[in-house]
Each structure stands twice: as structure tokens, then as C-alpha cells.
Amino acid sequence: MTTPAAVTVRCGFCDAAPGTPCTPGGQHFDRYLRAWREGLISRSTVSDVCAVLGTVSAGTLVPDAPAPAASRRA
């Protein structure tokens, strides 16, 4: 699910440098907010992430792989 543009900004949660992944499995949601504020991703992309993950915080991990369809409905 990770948007490549989100990885181009520094993570304010774990301080990962631009271009460096937060974790091997995904990026913290903070990067999505920063990328949106900088005009790198759309509001729609941020909304899509929230729709899939539900309640999020800056430290919520956004997985690189799409969530299985069954878990999106939970």
C-alpha cells in the first residue's frame, strides 16, 4: 500500500531519512501526512489509507503490501 512519494520525505515518527524505509514492512503514517502537506500525494491517497487502516496515528505502520480484502472490511 505504501506510496513511493511518501518515502521521499523524512519520517517524523522514527526519523528515517528520505528514501530510507521506516521498517522492512512499511512506512509510518506520519510520512503520508508530510507528503500530503508538501503536495507530493493527494488528499484522496491519504483518505484511501485511512479507509483501509481505520483509526490511525502518526506511528501507525502502513504496510507495503495491500491488506487482504477480508481484513479491509473488519
Judged by CB under 5 A, the residue of 6, 7, 11, 49 near Zn ion is 11
Window 26-55: contact mask with Zn ion (x via CB under 5 A) = --x---------------------------
Q: Is 12 helix (H, G, I), strand (E, B) or coil?
A: coil
Q: How far is the CB of 69 from Zn ion (least distance, A)?
A: 26
Cα-based distances in Å from 34 to 22, 39, 43, 45, 69:
14, 9, 11, 13, 27
3 state SS of 37 = helix
Binding site for Zn ion (CB under 5 A): 11, 13-14, 16, 22, 28
